[in-house]
């Protein structure tokens, strides 16, 4: 994919990328996650180091976890094997392989490594990988066939706000997303979706509403799980857009509003992404309690009363 003027501008605004070792995973975590049938799964997420995504989305901060150039052959199986060697038995139900890129991009995941990755995933009943809608296709179906368990693909829909969607530099529209969703459904592959809260170019006073609409669209397209992700600054481009009045960082209360609008105890699972939630603007007195409430709702799917705080009027 050739770099556009927008690609070059976004990349030139970034701070220096930290060194990333292509033969060492960034880390892993085990957590509980609710599924649409109401069961609670133990999930192992492994954060793998590999090639950068070529799409250069304006809001992305994952590039800092990637290497320059293509992923070396054999690097990903080594990373995953090293992590699995530290995990106690029995293994969790689900394995998530997050590459900060696109699993079905040949530069990010060398095709010759797919057999080894599938073999390492054999102890798990389900595997989740992430991919841009445009890289979902025959390679996706082929990888699904190599697994013992089921495959789920996480796709960034981000926002269905028409003006914003066209300006995220993601090279995605609703038609392309819909084709990818139908391809997965036809192959009995589960769909997980990422929806942004605070997407650039969406008016701040409409942000929660457009997030809810995006979640609804994802569910209508067959998403089993939708994760609401607050947009974070720090990549240079978000700061430029903020100066232009095109981006307002969401606050913790915005994330509460969005999840409260979308939470559903039965059917598709909607959760709030709490990675770095401590960085979201919030009252220092009640921030931790509010995050704990969101964490509980993520697991139970049950609505809870909002936190009342004398410091910020309990609103």
From the CA atom positions of the chain, what is the Rg in Å? 19
Which CATH number does the domain 5-239 belong to among 3.20.20.70, 3.40.50.880, 1.10.357.10, 3.30.1340.10? 3.20.20.70
Q: How confident is the model at residue 59 (pLDDT cuts 50, 70, 90)?
A: very high
pLDDT (0 to 100) of residue 247: 98
pLDDT (0 to 100) of residue 119: 98
Q: Is 143 within 8 Å of 109 (Cβ atoms)?
A: no
What are the angstrom distances between the C-alpha of 287 and each of 107, 309, 310, 313? 40, 10, 13, 14
Q: Is 151 within 8 Å of 144 (Cβ atoms)?
A: yes
pLDDT (0 to 100) of residue 1: 67
Q: Is 133 within 8 Å of 155 (Cβ atoms)?
A: yes
**DSSP state letters, 69-85:** SSPPTTHHHHHHHHHHT
Q: For the chain, give every domain's residue range.
A: 5-239
pLDDT (0 to 100) of residue 267: 85
What are 236-282's pLDDT values in tens digits? 999 999 999 999 999 999 999 999 999 987 889 999 999 999 999 99
What are 274-291's pLDDT values in tens digits? 999 999 999 999 999 999
pLDDT (0 to 100) of residue 312: 83
Nearest partner of 153 among 111, 196, 186, judged by Cα: 186
Distance, in Å, from the CA atom of 184 to the CA atom of 133, rounded to the nearest integer, reads: 10
Greatest CA separation for the chain:
58
**Average pLDDT rounded to a whole number, residues 20-37:** 97
Q: For residue 313, is pLDDT > 90?
A: no
CB atoms within 10 A of CB 229: 22
pTM score, whole prediction: 0.96
**Average pLDDT rounded to a whole number, residues 75-79:** 98
What are 105-151's pLDDT values in tens digits? 999 999 999 999 999 999 999 999 999 999 999 999 999 999 999 99
Tell whether omega for the bond before 90 is within 30 degrees of 0, i.e. cis. Answer: yes
Contacts of 220 (CB under 8 A, 6+ apart): none
């Amino acid at each position: 994919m050739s770099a556009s003027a927008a690609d070059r501008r976004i990349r030139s605004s970034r701070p220096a990328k930290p060194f990333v070792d292509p033969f060492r995973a960034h880390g892993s975590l085990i957590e509980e996650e609710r599924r649409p049938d109401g069961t609670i799964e133990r999930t192992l997420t492994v954060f793998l180091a590999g090639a950068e995504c070529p799409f250069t989305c304006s809001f992305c901060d994952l590039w800092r976890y990637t290497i320059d150039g293509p992923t070396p052959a054999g690097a990903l199986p080594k990373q995953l094997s090293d992590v699995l060697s530290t995990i106690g038995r029995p293994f969790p139900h689900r394995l998530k392989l997050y590459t900060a890129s696109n699993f079905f991009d040949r530069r990010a995941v060398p095709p010759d490594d797919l057999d080894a990755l599938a073999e390492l995933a054999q102890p798990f009943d389900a595997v989740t990988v992430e991919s841009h809608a445009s890289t979902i296709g025959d390679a996706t179906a082929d990888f699904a066939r190599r697994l013992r368990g089921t495959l789920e693909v996480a796709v960034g829909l981000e926002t269905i706000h028409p003006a914003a969607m066209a300006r995220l530099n993601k090279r995605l529209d609703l038609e392309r997303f819909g084709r990818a969703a139908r391809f997965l459904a036809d192959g009995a592959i589960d769909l997980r979706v990422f929806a942004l809260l605070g997407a650039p170019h969406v008016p701040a006073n409409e942000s929660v509403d457009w997030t809810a609409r995006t979640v609804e669209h994802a569910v209508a397209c067959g998403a089993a799980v939708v994760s609401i992700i607050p947009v974070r600054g720090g990549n240079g481009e978000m700061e430029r857009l903020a100066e232009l009045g095109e981006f307002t960082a969401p606050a913790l209360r915005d994330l509460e509003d969005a999840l409260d609008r979308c939470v559903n105890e039965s059917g598709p699972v909607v959760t709030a992404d709490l990675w770095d939630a401590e960085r979201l603007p919030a009252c220092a007195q009640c921030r931790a309690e509010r995050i704990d409430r969101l964490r509980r709702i993520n697991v139970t799917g049950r609505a809870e009363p909002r936190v009342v705080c004398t410091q910020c009027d309990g609103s």
